[in-house]
A and B are shown apart, each in its own frame.
Chain A
Amino acid sequence: MRSKRTVFENRRIQLVFWVVLALCYLLGIFFVGLGVKESAYGICFEDKFLAPSLRHPFGTDGLGRDMFFRCMKGLSTSMVIGILAAVVSSFLALVMGILSAVLGGFVDKFINWAVDLCMGLPHIVLLLLISFMMGKGMKGVTIAVALTHWPALTRLVRSEVLQIRSSLYVQTAYRMGKSPYQVAVTHMIPHVLPTYVIGLILLFPHAIMHEAAITFLGFGLPAEMPAIGVILSEAMNHIAAGKWWLALFPGLLLLTVVVLFDVIGDNLKKLWNPQSGNQ
């Protein structure tokens, strides 16, 4: 009885519990979506516009396609784009943040200038421009999303590194003749890693939302690919005619995925960096 209560009251275990739960859900969607065959959401004109039922939990659309499997497939596509984007963006951010802080001078100025430039433009406009320039479709979206999510994280990494750089042990390391490269690898990276990983995870929801947004606006994935943005923009045509399930379930699903990524990120932050609340 007593031990059970401790487990329940232990914040650390609570946090881990939530993270694991969220992770299971997300991985579940991801792998179910990847495994869905095209025939699962194939056209079946006899079944068009069916309301949600046991056979079609999310209903069907105007071509009789099963919305549950279309959503799953679409979300996993979004997640793939999200992962690619987050990895590329966060890598860029890590490299540039450290370079900027360690080398200083011209490099620091240039990187700061680039960050300001990217953050000065409305994000969605930048996304549209890049996606359109790269020919839209999967390629355009991925490149656009991957190349536009680094500035905020770069700033974070840079300020973190600046803080460490002025600390005594780093100064000592320099005095002992270590090269900037050695300092970066042995002292900087391990220190900024928690911040970095959390930043990376918190990039996911942004990336996924942005992919859905530009797809919704018609500058992203093409209509023939199942994607939440496509599904939602198609649903716009039918909401007025009372086909509520076409928008509700995909929207909810997108929302839960985004919120869950946020939950994971926030909880990891508390676990790894408990002092962050005092900052």
Chain B
Amino acid sequence: MKKRMVAIFLMATLVFSMTGCGRENADTEQKREVTAYVGNSIFEGSLDPVKGAMSYGYSFINNALLKVNPNAEYEGDLAESYTISEDALIYTFYLKKGITFSDGSDFNAEDVVFTYETVHNHQGNNENVDLTRLESVTALDDYTVEFQLKEPYSPFFDMTAMLQIVPSDAYQSDTFDTMPIGTGAWKVVQYDSNQQIILEPNENYFDKVPELSKVTLVYMDADAAFAAAGSGQLDIVMAGAGYAGETIEGMHLETFETMDVRNVSLPVREEQTITDREGKEIIVGNPVTSDKAVRQALTVGIDRAAIIEYGFQGVGAPAMSFTDNLVWANAQEVLDGQREQAAQILEEAGWVKENGDGIRKKNGTKCEFTIYAPSGDNDRYLLAMALAEDAANLGIQINVKTATWDEIVTLQNTCGVVWGWGQYSPTVLYSLFQSDLSFTGGYDNVVGYENPAVDDKISEALSSNSQESAIKAWEEVQQMADGDYPYLYLVNIEHCYFVKDGLNLSKETQIPHPHGHGSPIICNMKDWSWSKEK
């Protein structure tokens, strides 16, 4: 409680000092500054690309070779063009010329080689960009870089969009955590841990230099941020779906498309004791969700629109698969709420209503299981509660509980968990469905899915020598795996923000937001502007 009070106090002093400067020139000239609360995830990690910072596609200080465009396709950022060899082992990138870093030094192939070699040699520091299959990286000339892979690995292409380049001369591991030097549109002028990050435009930026003169990203609690917005101290406030029904004077609500799909993992194995990698005996599986009929009935029988209405104030779109703003997704039309069909599936599998409580039973086993929402994530808890209410209509009782992530690592083996996925790289499919990743302790394949045909398809996708064939294989992976219903997809969420009237966030250049607890709105910060008329 004390910590929270201190945080509120600091926030208050901080905001007062900021508005102090902002108000003075507001009347005299065009406002060119923005103070934003976009969640705290930017503050939680390093800003150093070498350590995996900003690898989800919304970097603003450094640039990668490729970037994601608003259609969720890759295009050149620092690279002009690229070629991939026939055997998928050699990737050649041709770099743009005349680009300089914010410290004035020139960008060339040497920096690319330096960045990739540093990450490759210190892979343990970077869990987001996987370069373990990289054999060597060489500068053929100042503006051509050649990557040699050990084995064909199609997601390497995604890695080149995730890893941003740092300058070979100026790179320092300790200062880059907070003040990285990059080629991007912004540079950090002040970094106060868990308080604020102040950004100013990089005059050397090779593309359109931002119109705004200063952006301040602030760190605070979500409720404190909402209160600060209410008193006019913030220009952008990320808000959970729970706040979507609220209004703030002088601000309006904007929602942004994401690729984040909220879903519930449904353990597919029968309840059993297995020995894990460390030789410990663990209990896995669930007697109810291991029945495919239950999983299928839930998938077709629940009414996602109603769940979203109740749990998320109607913000978000029903989803039964990954969303079609991902190039590799096998998006499916949402056909749910079919209670008769669900009832039929359950009856045929032996789940019948015996007594008056409305919950089905099979051989004395109640059709009942528990799902966990991460504690502290109120949106997921509400979603789970709304799901449980709706599932009761099918005669399936879902008990909703909360647990910390530390506890979920164990609970996920036997119970459902509310997950959020959303990333540009299709490697997520590998971690969801690959058999030998099951019960390895991380968040991979928590349901215990096991299907040799799917495993084969995954290897085929990983070793494809073209993006087209890789995408085709990934789509087939989803077609096969989704037929077993290991995950109950619920909603393609939308990120909600309260935005000060007159601030234009250039919605047309926003990329579909990846998973990032609200931070991805900064992906096109360089295009933001205040409207001219006051």
Q: Which of B176-184, B376-384, B482-490, B525-533 contacts A (4 or more CB under 8 A)?
A: B376-384
A62-B382, A63-B385 as given contacts; A222 in contact with B230, CB under 8 Å: no
- Give the chain B neighbours of A117 by CB distance below 8 A: none
Q: Across the interface, name the chain B residue whose C-beta is closest to A218.
A: B375
Contact (A240, B310) CB under 8 Å given A216-B1, A217-B1, A223-B402: no
Interface 9-residue window, one of B21-29, B87-95, B129-137, B219-227: B219-227
One of B227, B376, B404 near A240 (C-beta < 8 A): B227
Q: Is the CB of B223 within 8 A of A239?
A: yes
**Chain B positions 221 through 242: 1 when the CB is less than 8 Å from some CB of chain A, otherwise 0:** 0111011001000000000101
Q: Is B400 an interface residue (CB 8 A)?
A: yes
Residues on A with C-beta less than 8 A from B385 are 43, 63
Among residues 378 to 399 in chain B, which have CB atoms less than 8 Å away from a CB atom of chain A?
Answer: 378, 381-382, 385-386, 389, 399
> Which A residues between 48 and 80 are near B, CB-CB below 8 angstroms?
48-49, 62-63
Q: Which residue of B lies closest to A64 (CB)?
A: B310
B389/A45 in contact, CB under 8 A: yes
Closest A residue to B403 by beta carbon equals: A222
> What per-residue 1/0 map shows which CB atoms of B352-394 lie under 8 Å from chain A?
0000000000000000000000011010011001100100000
Partner of A213, one of B1, B246, B404: B1
Question: A237: CB under 8 A from chain B?
Answer: yes
Contact assessment for A224 and B401 in the assembled complex, using a CB-CB cutoff below 8 Å: yes
Within 8 A of A (CB), among B201-256: 222-224, 226-227, 230, 240, 242-243, 245-246
Cβ of A64 to closest chain B Cβ, rounded Å: 9
Of all chain B residues, the one with the shortest Cβ separation from A236 is B223
Bound together, the chains give a CA A121 to CA B403 distance in angstroms of: 27
A241 within 8 A of B: yes
Q: Give chain B interface residues in 324-371, CB to chain A under 8 Å.
A: none
A234 to B240 CA separation, bound complex (whole angstroms): 14
Contact, CB under 8 Å: B227 / A62: no
Query: Within 8 Å CB of A48, what residues of B?
Result: 310
Residue of B224, B226, B242, B400 touching A62 (CB-CB under 8 A): B242
Return chain B residues, CB-CB under 8 Å to A240. Answer: 223-224, 226-227, 230
DSSP class of B's interface residues: helix, strand, loop or mixed? helix
CB distance from B166 to the nearest CB of A (A): 38
Within 8 A of A (CB), among B8-48: none
For residue B271, give the distance in angstroms from its CB to the closest CB of chain A.
Answer: 21
Closest beta carbon of chain B to A72's beta carbon, Å:
21
Among the listed A43, A236, A238, which residue makes an inter-chain contact with B389, where contact means beta carbons less than 8 Å apart? A43
Distance between A56 CB and nearest chain B CB, rounded to angstroms: 18
Interface size class of B (residues with CB under 8 A): 20 to 34
Taking CB atoms, residues of chain A closer than 8 Å to B245 are: 49
* A223 and B375 within 8 A (CB): yes
Q: How far is the CB of B243 from chain A (nearest CB, A)?
A: 6
Q: Which residue of A lies closest to B247 (CB)?
A: A241
User: A217 vs B404: C-alpha distance in the bound complex, in angstroms?
Assistant: 12
User: How many A residues, CB 8 Å from partner?
Assistant: 21
Q: Which residue of A lies closest to B404 (CB)?
A: A218
| A223-247 interface code vs B (CB 8 A; 1 in, 0 out) | 1100000000010111111100000
Interchain nearest-CB distance for A234 vs B (Å):
7
Main secondary structure of the interface of A (DSSP, over half): loop
A35–chain B nearest beta-carbon distance, Å? 21
B386:A241 contact, CB within 8 angstroms: no
Q: Closest Cβ of chain B: how far from A98's Cβ, in Å?
A: 37
Q: Which chain B positions have C-beta within 8 A of A49?
A: 245
Shortest beta-carbon distance, A25 to chain B, in Å? 27
Residue of B whose beta carbon sits closest to that of A230: B402
Known: A63-B385, A223-B375. A241 touches B401 (CB 8 A): no
In the complex the two chains form, what is the Cα distance from A241 to B399 in whole Å?
29
- A237 with B1, Cβ < 8 A, contacts A63-B385, A223-B375, A224-B402 known: no
User: Would you list which residues of chain B between 84 and 102 have a CB under 8 Å from chain A?
Assistant: none
Instruction: State the Cβ distance, A165 to closest chain B Cβ, in Å.
Output: 42
CB closest chain-A residue, reference B399: A224
Complex Cα–Cα for A222 and B374 (A): 11
Q: How far is the CB of A225 from chain B (nearest CB, A)?
A: 9
Residue in contact with A237 in the complex, picked from B223, B389, B399, B400, CB distance below 8 Å = B223
Nearest A-chain residue to B239, judged by Cβ: A241
CA distance A48 to B382 in the complex (A): 12
**A 198-228 contacts with B by CB, 8 A:** 213, 216-218, 222-224
In the complex, the answer to whether B246 meets A241 with C-beta atoms within 8 Å is yes
- Picked from A217, A218, A223, A241, the residue with its CB within 8 Å of the CB of B243 is A241
- CB-contacts of B144-177 with A (<8 A): none
Are the C-beta atoms of A241 and B1 separated by less than 8 Å? no
> What's the Cα separation between A216 and B1 when bound, in Å?
9
Q: Which residues of A contact B222 (CB under 8 A)?
A: 237
Which of these, A45, A224, A234, contacts B310 with CB under 8 Å?
Answer: A45
Asked if B402 and A241 make an inter-chain contact with CB atoms under 8 angstroms apart, the answer reads no
In the complex formed, the residue of A with least CB distance to B243 is A241
Minimum CB–CB distance for B230 against chain A, Å: 7
**Other-chain contact of B378, A213, A234, A242 (Cβ < 8 Å):** A234
- Name the A residues within 8 Å of B224 (CB-CB): 240
**Cross-chain contact B400 with A224 (CB below 8 angstroms):** yes
Residue in B226, B310, B389, B400 whose beta carbon sits within 8 Å of that of A241 in the complex = B226
B246 touching A222, Cβ below 8 Å: no
Name the distance in Å between B109's Cβ and chain A's nearest Cβ. 50
A48→B309 CA distance, assembly (Å): 12
| B250–chain A nearest beta-carbon distance, Å | 16
- Chain B: which residue is nearest A234 at the CB level? B378
Q: List the A residue with the shortest CB-CB distance to B246.
A: A241
Cα A217 to Cα B402 with chains together (Å)? 14
In the bound complex, do residue B382 and residue A63 qualify as a contact, i.e. CB atoms below 8 Å apart? yes
Interface residues of A in 88-140 (CB under 8 A from B): none
Give min CB distance, B117 to chain A, whole Å. 43
B residues near A (Cβ < 8 Å) are 1, 222-224, 226-227, 230, 240, 242-243, 245-246, 309-310, 375-376, 378, 381-382, 385-386, 389, 399-404
18 pairs, A vs B, C-beta closer than 8 Å: A45-B309, A45-B310, A62-B382, A63-B382, A217-B1, A218-B376, A222-B375, A222-B402, A224-B399, A224-B402, A234-B378, A237-B222, A237-B242, A237-B378, A238-B223, A240-B230, A241-B226, A241-B243
| Chain A to chain B: the 6 pairs with minimum beta-carbon distance, closest first | A240-B227, A45-B310, A240-B226, A223-B402, A240-B223, A241-B246
Given contacts A45-B389, A63-B385, 16 further A-B contacts (CB under 8 A): A43-B389, A45-B309, A62-B242, A62-B382, A213-B1, A216-B1, A218-B376, A222-B401, A223-B381, A234-B378, A237-B222, A237-B240, A237-B378, A238-B223, A238-B242, A241-B246
